[in-house]
Structures are given as structure tokens and as C-alpha cells.
Amino acid sequence: MQWLWDITDEFIYQFQVFCQYRSNLSNKSEEELERLRDAAQIWNVQTVMNILHSLADKASIVEQLRVGREGGNVAEVAGAYGQLNLYKMLGYFSLIGLLRLHCMLGDYYLALRSLDYIDMELNKKALFARVAACHITAFYYVSFAYIMLRRYRDAANTLSSILFFLSRTRQYHSRSFQYDQVRPRRGEGEGGARRAATPTVR
């Protein structure tokens, strides 16, 4: 399951890095600029978004989450692909990827809508809780979207709840580089000043 999240995470990261490279024109030769003009379709945002939506649709993950929340039979709406754990989790991680992508594009309302049927309660039964990096990414970008929408109380509640949860389950997140960014620094014990660093979520 970790490798499925890594694929999704790396896919969006590569898109982000290429966009940053393409937008910085100051250190590019005329030949590089010409190549970029000729290859405008490479890492096109609509293509990236369509891929994530297609993965979610293939697994019928939104329908599964909706029916599961209503207490219905998930198997009835899962379809041939949604019943397979690989497709189900890839579709699920694609929703988290859409959250991140919409935040990058500045559409914070649509970012939150991407998680309409995902239960953001902090418990280990949630699917995102099975992968530490996905867990932290989801709460980080949800909080960021709340801040940008000026829903500061919701942002504070989301951030404080995930930080509290992480502090209680250190061994669970010990292999995540995101956890290393949010844990207290050396010398900052229970009585010392705590610096809550922004998670380096790629």
C-alpha cells in the first residue's frame, strides 16, 4: 500500500517540479525556451487532473465511500476494479492527490470537495491512516485550504488534532520524512518551547 501512495505522491511532485522549471525563464537559453513552447502539452494540468480523476472513477471510490458512510453494501457499487484492493487504494490516494493538486492551483474550495466522502476523523481505521505520509499530507493540505478560505478555526482544529495524534503514535510514523518535520527538535522536551515546523510535504 505504501508503494501505491509513493507513485501518486511522486506523480504530483514531478508535475510540480516541472511547472516550477517551466515558469522560471530567467536562466534558460533561447533553445530551451523554444523547446518549452513546442511542448506545451507536456505535464498539462488538465491531463494530470484527468489521470487522477480516471483512477478514482475506475475504482468507483467515491461511490464506495458514499455507500460505506451511509451503511450500505459497498460491494454492490465497487465494480470489477473497485473490488480489487490495488485499484481501490490507488483511487483513494488519487482523491488525496486531487486535494493537493487543487491547493497548488489555488482552488481551495474544490480541494476540500475532493474529500467530501472521506472521513477525516483521527482513527487508525481510516484508509489514509494506513500510510503515514498520506495521513500527514491529507491533514496538511486540508488545513492549508481552510487557512486560504479564512476558516481559521477549522484550520487550527485540524492542525492541533493531527499534531496531538502524531505525538501519541510516534512509532507509527517513525518511517515518514513528514513526521521528522513535525516532531519536537532535540532539546525541546515537554517543558521546553515547542516549534511546530511546517511539514515538508512534497
Instruction: Tell me how many degrees the CA angle 185-146-68 measures, rounded to the nearest 5.
Output: 100
The confidence score (pLDDT) of residue 197 equals 36
What's the half-sphere exposure (Cβ side, CA atoms, 13 Å) at 100? Answer: 25
> What pLDDT is stored for residue 123 in this prediction?
58
Low-confidence ranges of the chain (pLDDT < 50): 173-174, 188-201
Nearest to 15 by CA among 48, 41, 46, 38: 48
> Residue type for 103, please?
C
Report DSSP letters for 83-138, one per residue. TSHHHHHHHHHHHHHHHHHHHHHT-HHHHHHTTTTS-----TTSGGGGSHHHHHHH
With respect to residue 187, please indicate whether it lies within any of the assigned structural domains. no
What pTM does this model have? 0.80
> pLDDT tens-digit profile of 8-67?
999 999 999 999 988 888 888 888 888 888 888 889 999 999 999 999 999 999 999 999
Distance between CA atoms of residues 42 and 173, nearest Å: 35
CA–centroid distance for 123 within its chain: 17
Decide if 27 is inside a domain: yes
| 100 in Cβ contact with 110 (< 8 Å) | no
Number of domains, the chain: 1
In a domain, 158, yes or no: yes
Q: Report the pLDDT value the prediction gives residue 99, as an integer from 0 to 100.
A: 96
Containing structural domain, residue 98: 2-182
